[in-house]
Amino acid sequence: MRALVVAGVGAPPTVTDVELPAPGPGEVRVRVRAAGVCHSDLSMTNGTVTPAYPLVLGHEAAGLVTEVGAGVRRVGVGDHVVLNWAPPCRGCWPCRHDEPWLCVEAGTPSVARGRTAGGDPLHVTLGLGALAEEVVVGERAVIAVPAGLPFESAALLGCAVLTGVGAVTRTAAVAPGESVLVLGLGGVGLATVIAAASAGAGPVVAADLAGAKRELATAAGATDFLVADDTLTRRVRTLTGGRGVDHAFECVGRATTIRTAWRAARRGGQVTVVGMGGKDDLVELSALEIFHSARTLRSSVYGSSDPDRHVPELAAAVLDGSLDLGPLITDRCGLDDAPAAFARMARGEGARTVVLFD
């Protein structure tokens, strides 16, 4: 089968032949039908995250179950499924205390699975390696969804939508009438805008370095769009009566933008870091401003979500029309064009590219 593989840090991703094992006990084989190109995949190639190589990229996908191993009861052949890159174990302390998004066994950057065509050991991103024609995963990593849900929409539920919607509705619990700033308008950022608008927030201010994202932001429900520069904080305060926003969501994962989000929030406001940054990119806040501002700074891991519960809820919302994912998808392509999609993402262009199979 073919997959998008990166050989090491800084190497370009290439489409190549790989071999996966047959499903063992408790495992399933899924024929991937759609997969999103997520910024976290880019982090696997540029050194922000340090997985093992060679690595099959991709962790946001949906497809059809084609084979099940012994003992599998969660799904059957022919089921439509969303892939889950952080399946909770249900037995560790966070899982037992209703925080499955913090499961100690979930979210490993890379897992050894299969071989390259040359016989070398192969690794897959976050246990999935979903930018591939097929995946073999544990049954806890698949979530059944209705067959009527389009695969390109289903794929986005596994990362961008679950993360962005969850950050708004669960981590920050945005209330109607509260003001929101979203910094960074990739797939997760736009999903955050959609969720804030759906929650009745106002104003919903979207900001990005690329002025070309104005139309995307408006389509997602933003009331205002600002090009991110040194005057951003002042302009946000102008839009909010001089106070700053009640909620600032940082969807980039950089110390500079986290600091900007902090300064744009009002006294007593909330700053939620959704983007994943590097371990050496340090955020500086003085002891006095922490005390004086009374702001809350926290992260939102996987949207504070329980995927087994919340993916089906999101699928239902897409099907009944209450959740429109159209603004998220700016490009569609086949697997052979996926390397170009990574290049566009690195340049900050568009939002989500969805790779379609068949």
Q: pLDDT tens for residues 4-13?
A: 999 998 899 9
Q: Which helix (H) or strand (E) element contains residue 330?
A: strand 329-333
- Answer positive or negative: Cα dihedral of 284, 290, 292, 296: positive
Domain count, the chain: 2
CA distance 77 to 150: 18
At residue 250's C-alpha, the angle toward residues 208 and 268, to 5°, is 120
Average pLDDT, the chain: 95
- What residues have CB less than 8 Å from 275, skipping those under 6 apart? 39, 184, 188, 250, 251, 252, 253, 254, 257
pLDDT at residue number 42: 86
Q: Is 188 helix (H, G, I), strand (E, B) or coil?
A: helix
CA distance 21 to 29: 9
By DSSP bridging, strand 204-208 and strand 224-227 are: parallel
pLDDT at residue number 268: 98
The residue count of the chain comes to 358
Q: Find the domain containing 320 and state its range.
A: 2-159+304-356
Q: Rounded to a whole number, what is the distance in angstroms from the first to the last CA of the chain?
A: 13
Specify whether 242 is located in the same domain as 96. Answer: no
What's the pLDDT tens digit per position in 205-254? 999 999 999 999 999 999 999 999 999 999 999 999 999 999 999 999 99
CA distance 45 to 191: 24
pLDDT at residue number 111: 92
pLDDT at residue number 107: 83
What's 211's domain CATH number? Answer: 3.40.50.720
Mean pLDDT by 10 residues, the chain (358 residues): 93 94 96 94 85 95 98 97 96 97 91 92 95 97 97 96 97 98 95 97 96 94 96 96 97 96 98 92 95 97 96 97 93 95 87 92
What's 347's domain CATH number? Answer: 3.90.180.10
Specify whether 129 is located in the same domain as 53. Answer: yes
> Exposed/middle/buried for 285, CB within 10 Å: 0-12, 13-18, 19+?
middle
What's the pLDDT tens digit per position in 120-136? 999 999 999 999 999 99
Specify whether 147 is located in the same domain as 281. Answer: no
CA distance 108 to 146: 28
Residue type, 317: A
CA distance 135 to 127: 9
pLDDT at residue number 39: 85
Q: Is residue 164 part of a domain?
A: no
